[in-house]
Structure 1
Amino acid sequence: MAAEDLPSEFDVVLVGTGLTESVVAAACARVGQRVLHLDTRTYYASKWASFTLNALLTWIDERQSPSDEVQDWSGLLQDGEEPICLSNADSASIRNVQVFCFARSAGDAEKAGPEPPRPLEAAGGKKMTFAHLLKEGRRFNIDLVSKLMYARGSLVDLLIKSNVSRYAEFKNVTRVLTYRHGNVEQVPCSRADVFASRRLSMVEKRKLMRFLASCVEEKEEEELEGELAEFLRDQQLGDNLQHFLLHSIAMVTEDTPTRDGLASTRHFLRCLGCYGNTPFLFPVYGLGEIPQCFCRMCAVFGGVYCLRHPVSCLLLDKTANRCTALIDGRGQRIASSHFVLEEGCFYVKTLPRLSSCRSISRGVLITNRSILPGDQHQVSVVTIPSLEVGLPAVRMVELSPSTMTCAPGTYLVHLTCQSQLGSAYEDLWPVVTRMFNTAQSCDQDSRPDVLWCFYFNMDDGGAGAESDGDRLPSNVYVCSGPDAELGHERAIKQAEAIFRKIVPDQDFCPPAPNPEDILYDADDPEDPANTMDKRDKDEEPAELQEQQLQVEE
């Protein structure tokens, strides 16, 4: 819909198309709310977006000159109202952007940086330069956020329940790896993998299976005190098994409380075997597809979408402590009962504490080989423990061309950790130099070569604005951005909590009808061919419901 045609009144207005906002929009539209969903950007998914390589380079250039002018719309205010200015620039939430290119020809020198040109060889023996990467740029889908979907996590459950899963395809993560003593190894996850492993002795295999079986059982853990690493040592599992359990199954740090670590282990085990040998799924074409799927559902049920649409301010009724309307960048007053905003919309001077106090360090690498050579369709996740005192543990997700996120002959590697040293480059560079070849590498061994890399810091949504909700107007809700966790539990939980505040008496994202089940005005509802047996539908086996998630082999 053109911006000039926007209606002047809605039930819910949302600003930002991130995952949480998109889920709220879909849930509200599904139960009949009039929804307006705006975004100042030219693309969907906000901080959860995916870019082609060419689009990412353009996005980086545009961020260097952000514009965010404050306009005076005081003439549109009514008696008793005051404006709450909103920000359209997200430059503060993503910072310390650094780009390096190690695969380029002499003609690319001016564009790519100061390193000497060194053509590198991609998988299959083809020489790869920066010009080749740009030519294949549309084959890349680079996520700003690196996450995986637990097979029985809240996001997968919601995708199946709401039938939104029909809008996307998924691929199972094929390997869980570990990094120890300078070597990358595959971690046995399932019972079959454990007993097929040649890296574990028979005694270790039995100890591991016995411990995992005990973790699956529900039992009281209130008496468990101390850290998980200490608890594992008390179980006399040995250094090898302790490393596997801590870093590759529980995927936590050594100082994680025992109860939290065992809960993570139990969640990992419950998700095993649903769609493959690991507990994880990844959406084909990248994580940016998921918010767009929920936006599509919202639009199907009448939601109105408008990108490239700046917002100026909310109008606050000081007497009722409620916002009555929003004024967009064109000066149109749009009334609404509820307002849902992405984190970072408020100016710091307006609400100074509504900002994250922690940040995430992110790195994206394009490489020419896998960190553990094997089948070219492998998708891997590995947690790299702290290499030195003071350095953070780093989570690495390696995507192959089968995920449609990188060009043939290359791999896309995502690095994520909590920021400790100030910039993503400082946090992640030690891991990159340890596991990959770069221009600074003294000896070129069998490690994968880095063709191109991109570092940046972003606000940690896990330290977002939820605790400041009491300082907001009663009908304004702020959605936190992405956090550093591997799954999506927090975003989905927050989306449901916001939905409950808006329409407390409605079901959260009920199933959308299949197209063949919709009765149109010309159809005869008495015709048996047009009548659904709801009882049979409700009693559909869970096994059939899970098949609604399309997972590629």
Structure 2
Amino acid sequence: MDDTLSYPPIDPINFDLIIVGTGLPESILASAASAAGKTVLHLDPNPFYGAHFSSLPLQDLAAFLQSQSPSPPPSSAPSDGNLTAVELTTRRMYSDVEITSHSPEPLEHSRQFNLDLAGPRVLFCADSAVDLMLKSGTSQYMEFKSVDASFVCGGDGKLVTVPDSRSAIFKDTSLGLAEKTRLSSFFKLVEGHLKSDDERKISAEDLESPFVAFLSKMRLPPKIQWIILYALAMADYDQSDTDVCKDVLKTRDGINRLALYHSSVGRFSNALGALIYPIYGQGELPQGFCRRAAVKGCLYVLRMPVNALLLDKFSGSYKGVKVASGQELFSHQMVLGPSFIVPSPLLKSSPDSLQDVRGKVARGICITKTSVKPGVSNCLVIYPPKSLYPEQVTSVRVLQIGSSLAGCPSGMFVLYLSALCDDANQGKKSLHAAVNAIFSIPISGTPDHGSTDESENTQVKPTLLWSALYIQEMTTCSFESISSTPMPDGSLNYNDILDATKELFHKMFPDEEFFPETTFSEPEDGELDESPNGESLDS
């Protein structure tokens, strides 16, 4: 029996843009190009939307991580007429996959999990990704709920609440009166600077200085600096150690991050804090943009591998693709997901320039039946540098999601962990340290009932039921005769990925607007909504 009979024929065969992979950047590009009136074909070899940004059932996620292996080197084959077919290859984006099961219970409910492949990830209520969803109408296809609370691990190893506003400062019982006064004064200075047109509140010299130096200049106590740097400004590296800090946060950027956090609090009437999370997982975001693209005429075909690129025999320029059915499809522009390797004849410069590897991020997914903080279902926990062990050089971020967000069965919690790293050893060390700090880990393979920290008799560690730890490559977005989208980065939100995607769109279509303003029908209850009388998130 001919295997190609299982693949549907695609009609038409000529497009302005062909995109392979339905990750978030690719999905945004498909939606933006379709909104601009371009004909778009969106393909994905997977049977699901989202690619590296997807949310998957437990067993499917484990299979996806372990199946990501590089394909053989490309070879050229003759095609019809003036075209040459060059096989398209892939490379491994995940390594050091470590999956451990301490209980059969999670596997028994595998299909009830929606696990984020690129977690932990949230959206700030006032960030550019939320604005884009409102502008494009994609918010009509998604529902969100707020993250209930944020915590940061202090120097004593205890988790303290992050005060995200001046009012929260005075309600925080963990801060002394002097600390509250200094932190409130600092927030007042920041608010005054942001409202000042001439920026006289904070000097230009201070704005270009390291943020940690500015905080010291403001005579803020180390505990307050710790909270501002890592729990509000979300710095990745140890800002006080110039030998290990690869990304020094300037005051200007730190102030902007505080402004984003501050403006996110209270934007939506029923969001408790600054952060929100999509019901059913982060994979809903690419699906939402794909739905919007389909409404605008984009053609979608899943389970359709692309086997080769079609090149002009004489100029070597890109012309189209050959899919698994053997059908040849043509387009003016081409975008590939980050795991694909483009043959060197198509690159204007060196073969490595298309996909620039810019480091690694260690990720972890843990399942338990007890919240990391009693009485709190959905929360963010920050472990700043050196809070877990002396050699820890980057923050470890942990996002706990409960069943109210449809990420796991009732009575369970999913915790996502991440840390930037130079190599797998460094990344796994950070993840294991965080896992050991959070969980009681069964030794015999049978879950126990948790362990109590003798120094804090009221705190019982959750018992770890299942975990997946892995190292993910990070790549940048690039534009050549064939463009490539980025892998998920180590940030908590999508702003950097969105900026790179928007830049790529303008390079491909310099005369087109990135999502022109349009009018949409009224969204249903539970969807992101922006109205003249105020903003609401969900019911």
Which category describes the TM-score, using the shorter chain as reference length? 0.7 to 0.9
| Cα pair 1:175 1:379 within 8 Å, conserved | yes
Matched residues in 1 for 2:185 and 2:123: separation? Answer: 27
Note the alpha carbon deviations across 1:155-191, whole angstroms, 9 max, x for none: 1001001111010100111211110111111112123
Q: What pairs with 1:287-298 in structure 2 (closer than 5 Å)?
A: 287-298=282-293
3-state SS, counterpart of residue 74 of structure 1: strand
Equivalence for 1:179: 153
Equivalence for 2:177: 202
Q: 1:11 to 1:506 in 2, by over 3 A?
A: same
Deviation at 1:319, TM superposition (A): 6.7
1:140 to 93, 103, 113: 113
Counterpart of 2:380 in structure 1: which amino acid? S
Equivalence for 1:528: none
Matched residues in 2 for 1:72 and 1:545: separation? Answer: 60
1:157 and 2:159 are equivalent in the alignment: no
| Cα pair 1:371 1:447 within 8 Å, conserved | yes
3-state SS, counterpart of residue 449 of structure 1: coil
Deviation at 1:247, TM superposition (A): 1.7
Deviation at 1:73, TM superposition (A): 6.4
> What TM-score, normalized to structure 2?
0.83
Matched residues in 2 for 1:329 and 1:203: separation? Answer: 67
2:512 to 506, 514, 523: 506
| Cα pair 1:170 1:282 within 8 Å, conserved | yes
Equivalence for 1:95: 95
1:213 and 2:220 are equivalent in the alignment: no
Counterpart of 2:145 in structure 1: which amino acid? K
What RMSD over aligned residues (CA atoms) do the two structures have, in Å? Answer: 2.8
Deviation at 1:341, TM superposition (A): 1.1
1:490 to 475, 486, 496: 496
1:75 and 2:78 are equivalent in the alignment: yes
Q: 1:543 to 1:179 in 2, by over 3 A?
A: same
Equivalence for 2:243: none
3-state SS, counterpart of residue 352 of structure 1: helix
Deviation at 1:202, TM superposition (A): 2.5
| Cα pair 2:408 2:414 within 8 Å, conserved | yes
Aligned residues: 487
1:478 to 476, 481, 484: 484
Moved more, 366-375 or 69-78: 69-78
Q: 1:406 to 1:319 in 2, by over 3 A?
A: same
3-state SS, counterpart of residue 178 of structure 2: helix
Note the alpha carbon deviations across 1:205-227, whole angstroms, 9 max, x for none: 22111111222323365412543
Q: What pairs with 1:350-429 in structure 2 (closer than 5 Å)?
A: 351-353=351-353, 354-375=355-376, 377-386=377-386, 387-391=388-392, 392-423=394-425, 424-429=427-432
3-state SS, counterpart of residue 451 of structure 2: coil
Equivalence for 1:111: none
2:467 to 453, 465, 474: 453
Q: Percent identity?
A: 26
Deviation at 1:349, TM superposition (A): 7.2
Matched residues in 2 for 1:542 and 1:383: separation? Answer: 34
Deviation at 1:67, TM superposition (A): 7.7
3-state SS, counterpart of residue 364 of structure 1: strand
Equivalence for 2:532: 544
3-state SS, counterpart of residue 211 of structure 1: helix
Deviation at 1:50, TM superposition (A): 0.6
1:264 and 2:257 are equivalent in the alignment: yes
Q: 1:56 to 1:31 in 2, by over 3 A?
A: same
3-state SS, counterpart of residue 255 of structure 2: helix
Matched residues in 2 for 1:84 and 1:155: separation? Answer: 36
Counterpart of 2:228 in structure 1: which amino acid? L
Deviation at 1:489, TM superposition (A): 0.9
Equivalence for 1:239: 222
Matched residues in 1 for 2:218 and 2:153: separation? Answer: 22
Equivalence for 1:331: 326
Unaligned runs of 5+ in 1: 104-129, 518-540
Matched residues in 2 for 1:365 and 1:401: separation? Answer: 14
Q: What pairs with 1:456-471 in structure 2 (closer than 5 Å)?
A: 456-461=470-475, 464-466=476-478, 469=479
Counterpart of 1:284 in structure 2: which amino acid? I
Deviation at 1:440, TM superposition (A): 5.1
Note the alpha carbon deviations across 1:7-36, whole angstroms, 9 max, x for none: 211111001100011001011112221110
Matched residues in 2 for 1:477 and 1:71: separation? Answer: 18
Note the alpha carbon deviations across 1:513-542, whole angstroms, 9 max, x for none: 54589xxxxxxxxxxxxxxxxxxxxxxx96
Counterpart of 1:448 in structure 2: which amino acid? P
Q: 1:148 to 1:326 in 2, by over 3 A?
A: same
Q: 1:50 to 1:221 in 2, by over 3 A?
A: farther
> What TM-score, normalized to structure 1?
0.81
Matched residues in 2 for 1:410 and 1:505: separation? Answer: 49
Q: 1:514 to 1:230 in 2, by over 3 A?
A: closer
3-state SS, counterpart of residue 334 of structure 2: strand
Equivalence for 2:205: 223
| Cα pair 1:343 1:355 within 8 Å, conserved | no
Equivalence for 1:525: none
Note the alpha carbon deviations across 1:191-247, whole angstroms, 9 max, x for none: 321111111222322211111122232336541254322322221111221121122
Unaligned runs of 5+ in 2: 1-5, 240-247, 346-350, 453-459, 524-528
